[in-house]
Amino acid sequence: MLLEINGLRKEYERGEHRFAAVDDLCLRLERGEFVCLFGRSGSGKTTLLNMIAGLITPDSGEILFDGVGLYSLDDPARTAWRNEKLGYMPQGASLLSNLSVLDNIRLPFHLQPRSGGSLEKARELTRELGISRLEKSYPSALSGGEMRRVALARALMNSPELVIADEPSNDLDAQTAREMASLLSVLNGRGCAFLVATHDQELGRLGRTLEIANGRLLDQDHATEDREVSNVQ
């Protein structure tokens, strides 16, 4: 088991009202699996992904990666873990505008002390993702689809075991979205696990799908109901 999430909960406040953006959520993801998370806007997808990425602290519950509790690590250890094991493709524009495409991609390599260099790997990624010609460009000169590819290359820089992608094909035309889906499929075929929040049915066909509503996974709700029924019987 690569990722195991138990009873995860995150509450937010809006005015007087306190609500759970992620509510008692449980999830399992096997090594090399491709899992898509569907759900309406505001259902809690990004909140969940940010907790898995170690960026937002849950109010309760646990996230185990390779059996290690993420939030049992202190801040520097969790940051090092994220840098080593996880690639994150955040929702929306996430590239640093003052760095070239190549330097954006190389950045995760340099965030933690490690030996060797990043140039060769970054070049290999730009070739593979079809963005070699953009290496010297800056994000402001890229199309939406090109930016996504750069963000994907950056997520792959440290050869992570899991890539989290938050709406990677959102706002792309159908052809470009299909190209993104086939890219993710190829990468998954090489053993990298994916957890993808999306509204794109094309991506849903690449693996297992989950649906989240009001911070809860729907089949998890059914499982709870089943348990309640069997308790009554």
- Which region among 11-19, 85-93, 106-114, 151-159 touches Mg ion (by CB under 5 A)? 85-93
Closest to ligand ATP by CB, 44 or 54: 44
139 near ligand ATP, rule: CB under 6 A:
no
Q: Least distance from C-beta 41 to ligand ATP, angstroms?
A: 3
| Letter string b/e over residues 38-70, b meaning 16 or more CB atoms within 10 A of that residue's CB | bbeeebbbbbbbbbbbbebebeebebbbeeeeb
39 near ligand ATP, rule: CB under 6 A:
yes
Contacts of 100 (CB under 8 A, 6+ apart): 135, 136, 137, 138
Closest to Mg ion by CB, 103 or 167: 167
For ligand ATP, which residue of 2, 3, 5, 21 counts as binding (CB under 6 A)? 21
Burial class (CB in 10 A: 0-12, 13-18, 19+), 129: buried
Q: Least distance from C-beta 120 to ligand ATP, angstroms?
A: 35
- Which region among 44-52, 97-105, 147-155, 219-227 touches ligand ATP (by CB under 6 A)? 44-52
For ligand ATP, which residue of 41, 115, 175, 233 counts as binding (CB under 6 A)? 41
Out of ligand ATP, Mg ion, none, which partner does residue 39 contact, by CB within 5 to 8 A per kind? Answer: ligand ATP
* 30: nearest Cα among 63, 64, 2: 2
Closest to ligand ATP by CB, 112 or 214: 214
46 near Mg ion, rule: CB under 5 A:
yes
Subset of 46-65 contacting ligand ATP (CB under 6 A): 46-47
User: The tokens of 29 are what?
Assistant: 């993801």
In order of 98, 163, 175, 190, 207, the CA distances from 193 in angstroms are 31, 6, 24, 9, 10
Closest to ligand ATP by CB, 135 or 211: 211
Residues that bind Mg ion (CB under 5 A): 45-46, 91
